[in-house]
Amino acid sequence: MTQQQSLYRPRNAFDVLQTPLIGRLLRWRWGRLVLQAPFFLAALFLLIDGFTGPTNPARNLATVAPWVHYRGLVIIALLLAGNLFCMACPFTLTRTLAKRFSISGRRFPRILRNKWLAIFGLFLMFFLYEWLDLWASPVLTAWVIIAYFVASLLLELIFTESAFCKYVCPLGTFNFVYATAAPTQIAVHDASVCASCVGKECVNGSYAPQTTIRLDEIAVAGGGTIQKEVVHGPQGTLGCGTELFAPQMSSNLDCTLCLDCARACPHQNVGLFVRRPGRELHKAGAWLQRWDVSLLVIALAFMGISNAFGMVGPGYDVLEWLRRDVGIQNEALALLLMFGFINLLLPVLAATGAAFISRMVTQHGRDYSLRQTVAAFAPAFVPLGAGIWFAHYSFHFLIAPLTIIPVIQEFVGLKGDWVHYSAAVPADIISVMQVVALVGGFAWSITIAQQAALRLYKRDGLFGLLPWALLLLLMMLVAIQIFSLPMEMRGTDFMFS
Ligand code: SF4
Ligand code: SF4
């Protein structure tokens, strides 16, 4: 057994796929389609309203649904259940179709098989959101949705793996990172069955243009083998699009929760297991020790701060300072500079700086390279990052949680009942929730960082922890300060005017 196999082998863990109704539905061949179809329909409605509906963004489905409600619900779903929104993602609906008409069957270029493109995609998305005021433009939001569909279909057509999900999609990248804190994970019931499995269908798939039947010798619990008939054919399932191998999975990173692995496995060996929330964040070696993976996670926490910073007074003051005192009249350039500094430069400097100090002040520090040190502490940025995003997105969501109802009423030609559905969750309650999310996220982050420091530096753990704890503390305090300021109520302000 490899080291990775032993990282997550649930013993008596609850398997969601074994539950009578939900489990059966999820394992069913068309199970994902049942979830994707309503989201696909919703995307079509968003396009229709985006191109033909009201220009007021607070009354248009294309702006209210994705920028107010989707974002609020996605972070809650990630933390409570897992990557449900990738599971139901309509952009990948065409995957099976695309694979059958695949043009070249090439792999995604090796140089791009990492998270650098995903970091750039996230940066670009947040930049465009601010620069083009996407939240205020139903038409532009509709074009973004179209761009998603086209990019996903094209990459599925051209490349063998699901390159769009794994290497490009900003939404998926966000979900991958915070699904690492989720209480569920794909794993296998019995690793010895995988060891004797011939076709490794979970990753290779069971789809074939012509039906073929194979007899495999499969290990059984308690020793010995049985013969098992394995059928491949047009009714089969594609293997894991993001090329994860179920028996070796130690993380939710890159898992879209499509469950194709469970459907393709001929031995019903794949499960969706309930685990301790964020279990992988506490485990050494659960993630690859790569710069791109570590910096993605750290940068995304900084992006949470900058995304909120762009909506409060000091954010506008910085842009005004760049315009008036520095002489940068071009708004796009000013935004690029501000976000480039907070989202890219600052995370790199902060992470490498903290790693450099912790290596210097500990006896065993030099046993680990800068890359290994940053990788060891990167998981600690997940809970605080999730807390920052939760504090931000829940604010926009809870300020008008039911306004989607009158928006839908108007979309179908009825009179929108704005009076009835405009109620906001009281501001005090939202503020308390934000502080709880930030302080709770920070406390969780500190426990992860402390475990990493003790693992790396043994008795010097406290010294090694110090720079990381200070960095996390600073980020939390800055976030609390930002959320204590009046924030622009995007997508809902017009309603109250
Ligand atoms: S999960 Fe299923 S298909 Fe994959 S290696 Fe194990 S037994 Fe084979
Ligand atoms: S491991 Fe792969 S096939 Fe299985 S649910 Fe995750 S993304 Fe889908």
User: pLDDT tens digits for 350-379?
Assistant: 999 999 999 999 999 999 999 999 999 999
User: pLDDT tens digits for 383-424?
Assistant: 999 999 999 998 888 988 899 999 999 999 999 998 888 888
pLDDT of 497: 29
For residue 163, give Cα distances in angstroms to 168, 177, 254: 7, 17, 11
Q: Is the dihedral of CA 192, 193, 194, 198 positive or negative?
A: positive
Contact 258, 32 (CB under 8 A): yes
Structural domain range at position 135: 1-206+235-287
Query: Mutation test of ligand 2: which of 86, 242, 243, 273 has the most ligand atoms closer than 8 Å to its C-beta?
Result: 242
Q: How many domains does the chain have?
A: 2
| Same domain (yes/no): 273, 324 | no
- Tell me if 163 CB under 6 Å of ligand 1: no
pLDDT of 36: 94
Q: Which of 265, 287, 309 is the last residue of a domain?
A: 287
| Same domain (yes/no): 240, 317 | no
Q: Which residue has the tokens 């809970």?
A: 383
What span, in angstroms and rounded, lies between the C-alpha atoms of 92 and 454?
A: 42
Q: Is residue 482 part of a domain?
A: yes
What span, in angstroms and rounded, lies between the C-alpha atoms of 378 and 448?
A: 9
User: pLDDT tens digits for 218-239?
Assistant: 887 777 888 888 999 988 888 9
- Tell me if 258 CB under 6 Å of ligand 2: yes
| Same domain (yes/no): 298, 273 | no
| Same domain (yes/no): 422, 443 | yes
The residue whose C-alpha atom lies closest to atom 6 belonging to ligand 1 is: 194
Q: How many angstroms is it from 244 CA to the middle of ligand 2? A: 7
Q: Is residue 221 part of a domain?
A: no
pLDDT of 102: 64
- Tell me if 172 CB under 6 Å of ligand 1: no
15 by DSSP, 3-state: which?
strand
| Same domain (yes/no): 281, 364 | no
Q: Is residue 169 part of a domain?
A: yes
Its pTM stands at 0.93
Enumerate residues 6+ apart whose C-beta is below 8 A from 24.
Answer: none
pLDDT of 490: 66
The residue whose C-alpha atom lies closest to atom 6 belonging to ligand 2 is: 255
In the predicted model, is pLDDT for residue 1 greater than 60?
Answer: no
In the predicted model, is pLDDT for residue 349 greater than 60?
Answer: yes
pLDDT band at 99 (very low <50, low <70, confident <90, very high): low
| Same domain (yes/no): 283, 293 | no
Q: Which of 263, 287, 311 is the last residue of a domain?
A: 287
Please state the φ and ψ torsions of residue 398, each to the nearest 5 degrees.
-80, -15
pLDDT of 144: 96
pLDDT of 100: 64
In the predicted model, is pLDDT for residue 258 greater than 90?
Answer: yes
| Same domain (yes/no): 78, 190 | yes
User: pLDDT tens digits for 101-157?
Assistant: 666 678 999 999 999 999 999 999 999 999 999 989 999 999 999 999 999 988 988
Contact 478, 388 (CB under 8 A): no
| Same domain (yes/no): 438, 311 | yes
CA atoms within 13 A on the CB side of 192: 9
